[in-house]
Structure 1
Amino acid sequence: MGSSSGSGSAYGYSFKILLIGDSGVGKSSLLVSFISNQTEDLAPTIGVDFKIKHLTVGGKKLKLTIWDTAGQERFRTLTTSYYRGAQGIILVYDVTRRETFTNLADVWAKEVGLYSTNQDCIKMLVGNKVDKENERAVTREEGIAFAQKCGSLFLECSAKTRANVEKCFEELALKILEVPSLMEEGSSVVKRNSLKQKQESHASPGGGCCL
């Protein structure tokens, strides 16, 4: 029978999504909230962590591999391999901390421009922690304006109350599915056919060690 109901046939598309932004804006909380319905306070991520989520969007079965990074400067060495081949990038800021918003423009958006290997990659700006409305330091209008300037989608959400958390990943996935080049890249059928060539090319010296 060849393969049983293995993961190979369980989904039609596999996409790599990145979460970037300053440390402490709630990237890991967003991810945990999306993956597991939990919203407990998490210890800071050290280096890189990724989680996999299967979901059906627009009638298509997707496997999202969502990469979460520590926002701290000392992990800057992982940038190129981290950004390579990503179909979606979520730029997260904390609506109660203005510097996390300005850093998106000053640091993170520039980094995406430098390291993203995918010209068509979909970006989404996410203002987290809207449950702290009375502490808000960045208006929704400012967020929308910056998103338009960057050509990215925009949402405000709360990892704590889970408001808009699923919508954030689902809207991003829907948008990726609208781009033919990204869809083709993520197609598991295409992936299986090219895996053999990939493995051969990976054997070359200096080809990324881990992951």
Structure 2
Amino acid sequence: MAELRAHADASIVIMLIGNKADLVDSRAVEFAETQNLFFFETSALSGENVEPAFLTLLQEIYDVVSKKALDSSNLVKPNGGLLSGLKIEAAQSEVSEMKNLSTCSC
């Protein structure tokens, strides 16, 4: 985590995804809490929380990018125009297709 944070942008979004949510006795949530990470428990067996984890991560990334766009909206490009932010769109068909392909073969 220290190396990741040392070399990544300060606004990086990090999420820890714990698999095997169906094994309640083997939980390890403390690491995510101490590192101030987003955390989701998922199950490849049942598919529980897989899609919400990715959608939450996308939303957090979108929020960071949007905030950067707002913060830089007063900056001027060399050609005289204003800098513009990026728009991230996740098509529902792509999410559904990824969900259909996300079966674990291990």
- TM-score with structure 2 length normalisation? 0.54
Deviation at 1:146, TM superposition (A): 2.2
Counterpart among 45, 48, 51 of residue 163 in structure 1: 48
Q: Is structure 2 residue 14 aligned with structure 1 residue 123?
A: yes
How far 1:188 moved relative to its partner? 5.1
1:127-166 correspondence runs (5 A): 127-131=18-22, 133=23, 136-137=25-26, 139=27, 142-143=28-29, 145-166=30-51
Structure 1 residue 186: Cα displacement: 7.1
**Any conservation in 2 of the 1:156–1:164 contact (CA below 8 Å)?**
yes
Q: Secondary structure at the match of 1:130?
A: coil
**How many equivalent residue pairs?**
74
Secondary structure of residue in 1 paired with 2:2:
helix
Aligned counterpart in structure 2 of residue 187 of structure 1, from 66, 86, 99: 86
Deviations 1:69-100 (A, max 9, x none): xxxxxxxxxxxxxxxxxxxxxxxxxxxxxxxx
- The letter of the residue matching 2:12 is C
Identify if the C-alpha distance between structure 1 residues 188 and 175 changes in structure 2 by more than 3 Å, giving closer, same or farther.
Answer: closer
Question: Could you list the runs of 5+ residues in structure 1 that have no partner in the other structure?
Answer: 1-108, 190-211
Q: TM-score, normalised by structure 1?
A: 0.30
- Which letter does structure 2 place at the counterpart of 1:153? F
Alpha-carbon distance, 1:172 to partner: 1.0
CA contact under 8 A between 1:176 and 1:182: conserved in structure 2? no
How many percent identity over aligned positions?
28
Distance across 2 between alignment mates of 1:170 and 1:157: 13
Note the residue ranges of structure 2 that are not aligned, 5 or more in a row: 73-83, 89-106
Of structures 1 and 2, the one with the larger relative CO (CA 8 A, separation 6+) is: 1
Task: Sort the Cα spacing of 1:182 and 1:172 in 2 relative to 1 into closer, same or farther, 3 A.
Answer: farther
Using the alignment, how far apart are the partners of 2:85 and 2:46 within structure 1? Answer: 31
Query: CA 1:182–1:173 in 2, change beyond 3 Å: closer, same or farther?
Result: farther
Q: What is the match of residue 95 of structure 1?
A: none
Amino acid at match of 2:31: F
Higher strand share: 1
CA RMSD of aligned residues (A): 3.0
After TM superposition, give the deviation of residue 123 of structure 1 in Å: 1.0
